[in-house]
A and B are shown apart, each in its own frame.
Chain A
Amino acid sequence: MSRIKHISIVIILAFLGLIMLLDLNKIPNQFEYANSIYHHITNNAVGETGSLNFVTAILYDYRAYDSMGESTIIFGAVSGIVLLLSRKTLPVSSHGLSFIVKRTYGMLTPFIFLFSVYIIAHGHLSPGGGFQGGVILGAISIIFSIVYGSEFDYKRYTPTTKTLLETSGALLFIGIGLIGIIYSGSFLSNLNILNSEPGSLLSAGSIPFINLGIGFKIGAGLAIIFYSMIQKTFKEEASL
């Protein structure tokens, strides 16, 4: 039985490998891309958008509409998880970890917040951006829940606040898109307000503001996801 299984797996894998090997020939040569969009972006992205980070320039300027779709997917995922996992009862408190851990994270958490804000605000200058900084922002809420117990997190940073932050992030994104219609006639076009030379903090038009909106949206969304998942397990392990 197991031998037949192994032989059939090997046959299927060999078949798939053959198909992929045949498809390798269809990948075009790299020199055919000379006049393509990649060439245009590497030559003109700084002049057109003012962003030194080309990934951010593509994400929030050339295809910002697609990024809005991605953040809508996360919004849908958050809504679905909360719908499936939420309970009517209040979350149960836990005692949290030991004194050493609590005190050290009490000193570290402001710096974690500062780091996430740094990554969000420098999204158009250095690697990072709204998504990455937002994940660190969501980690702060996870640290609160694990280290201090979920009751602490519930009191300091209520689900209403999280929902407010997430919605305002999404509204900031869409609002910048709507201002783009008034300003230059197309949805999510790059506003040229607050535009200094490329490389400074307030450059690149509307990209930093979109980064800010995405960051708060992702951070609050991940916190909501984690928060609606832990309610059951924390009741069972009240003191660890």
Chain B
Amino acid sequence: MGLRIIIAYLIMSAAILFAVITAVGLIRFPDVYTRIHASAVVLTMSAVMLSIGVAIYVWEFYLSIKILLVGLIFLITNPLATHAIARASYRRKIAIPQVKSIDEYSGYLSRDQE
């Protein structure tokens, strides 16, 4: 087992750690927005690190490029999906917390209407 395989396994186990953090956050956080914040970790960190680890593990040029492209797609699309879900649930007033100290997003929304 060479050094490359060990590095690949290290990156993959870090990805698993982030996935566990996501699972804990989904259970522990109180409402929609904080849970979205937790679930963004699993695709932006976990899936990307997993694809990097697998690309190091297989270590063939075209195969690794394809796997890294999959990771790149995850990196682009997941913040997008998180943004769309959060924005739609805010505009539909789903589970807006009663007690809040700051609400910066309402100003952006009114600017967006024009």
State the A residues within 8 Å of B (CB).
Answer: 97-101, 104-105, 108, 240
Contact = CB atoms under 8 A, between A and B. Distances in A.
Contacts, number: 23
Interface residues of B, number: 11
Interface in B45-91: 73, 76-77, 80, 83-84, 87-88, 91
Q: Do most interface residues of chain B lie in helix, strand or loop, or is the interface mixed?
A: helix
A100 B91 contact: no
Nearest to A240: B88
Contact of A240 (B76, B91, B112): B91
A99 B111 CA distance: 12
A100 B92 contact: no
A97 B76 contact: no
A98 B112 contact: yes
A30 B77 CA distance: 46
A99 B77 CA distance: 14
A114 to B, nearest CB: 11
A95 B112 CA distance: 12
Contact of A98 (B76, B77, B87): B87
A97 B76 CA distance: 16
A104 B80 contact: yes
Interface in B76-114: 76-77, 80, 83-84, 87-88, 91-92, 112
Contacts of A105: 80
13 contacts: A97-B84, A97-B88, A98-B83, A98-B87, A100-B80, A100-B83, A101-B80, A101-B83, A101-B84, A104-B76, A104-B80, A240-B88, A240-B91
A83 to B, nearest CB: 32
A240 B73 CA distance: 25
Nearest to B77: A108
A199 to B, nearest CB: 15
Contacts of A100: 80, 83
B90 to A, nearest CB: 11
Given A98-B83, A104-B76, A104-B80, 11 more contacts: A97-B84, A97-B87, A98-B87, A100-B80, A100-B83, A101-B84, A105-B80, A108-B73, A108-B76, A240-B88, A240-B92
Contacts of B84: 97-98, 101
Contacts of A98: 83-84, 87, 112
B106 to A, nearest CB: 14
A139 to B, nearest CB: 13
B85 to A, nearest CB: 11
